[in-house]
């Protein structure tokens, strides 16, 4: 590496905050956008039950469920890239190791759901031979028509949707416990 390159890297590294107290603005914005998208994805699929099968409103809610789920799938890749490039600021005071490991596990499973659930939805529509809507586009099918396989994937999709409810609640409760009981900076890092 040339001296000029070394100096540039050293200078750029020196300009980065060494111990930031909060997440960067992009991470914070993506986090809260994903929260809103999760609420909308779950709300659209739950609210569909208020309408009879085959009605326009029920079909519209299902379509929005797919569109918003695929939006999560699209944004999660940006979120993961930002997480790699801009690591999380430390929790102060440092939590016990078991809490750190549990938090990492929950985050990993949440990310897996943000990737796996939309793919499952895409597979379900593909297997049912239905169009895959995405903001005015029609995405290609991932598999050929296969209603039996689509039904099996749908059952798993619903099961993991219930797991998602639990993990989201656990994530939110843990943040509140850290803020109000433990009184560390866990929640504040995602607010400022």
pLDDT reported for residue 6: 46
Confidence of residue 3 (pLDDT cuts 50, 70, 90): low
Read off the tokens for 157: 């999709």
Confidence of residue 192 (pLDDT cuts 50, 70, 90): confident
Evaluate if residue 190 carries a pLDDT over 80: yes
Per residue in 121-153, pLDDT (tens digit) is 999 999 999 999 999 999 999 999 999 999 999
pLDDT reported for residue 5: 46
Sign of CA dihedral 121, 124, 125, 126: positive
Mean pLDDT on 10-21 = 52
Per residue in 77-111, pLDDT (tens digit) is 999 999 999 999 999 999 999 999 999 999 999 99
Question: In 48-185, where does DSSP find H-type helix?
Answer: 56-85, 97-127, 147-177
Q: Which of 160, 142, 171, 173 is nearest to 45 (CA)?
A: 160
Return the CA Rg of the chain: 20
Q: What is the pTM of this model?
A: 0.85
Cα separation of 42 and 48, whole Å? 10
The top-level CATH class assigned to 22-190 is: mainly alpha
Read off the tokens for 105: 């596990």
Cα separation of 65 and 53, whole Å? 15
- Answer yes or no: are the C-beta atoms of 31 and 83 closer than 8 Å: no
Instruction: Give the DSSP letter of residue 138.
Output: E
Q: What is the mean pLDDT of the chain?
A: 91
Confidence of residue 25 (pLDDT cuts 50, 70, 90): very high
């Amino acid at each position: 590496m040339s001296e000029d390159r070394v100096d540039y890297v050293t200078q750029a590294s020196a300009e980065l905050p060494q111990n930031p107290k909060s997440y960067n603005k992009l991470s914070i914005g993506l986090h809260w956008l994903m929260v809103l998208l999760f609420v909308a994805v779950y709300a659209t699929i739950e609210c569909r039950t208020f309408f009879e099968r085959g009605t326009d409103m029920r079909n519209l809610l299902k379509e929005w469920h797919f569109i918003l789920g695929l939006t999560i799938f699209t944004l999660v890749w940006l979120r993961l890239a930002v997480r790699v490039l801009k690591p999380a600021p430390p929790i102060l005071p440092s939590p016990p190791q078991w809490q750190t490991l549990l938090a990492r596990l929950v985050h990993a499973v949440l990310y897996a759901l943000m990737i796996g659930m939309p793919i499952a939805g895409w597979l379900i529509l593909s297997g049912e031979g239905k169009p895959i809507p995405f903001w005015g586009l029609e995405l290609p099918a991932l598999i050929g028509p296969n209603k039996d396989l689509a039904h099996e994937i749908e059952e798993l999709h619903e099961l993991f949707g219930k797991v998602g409810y639990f993990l989201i609640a656990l994530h939110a409760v843990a943040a509140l416990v850290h803020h109000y009981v433990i009184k560390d900076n866990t929640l504040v890092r995602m607010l400022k």
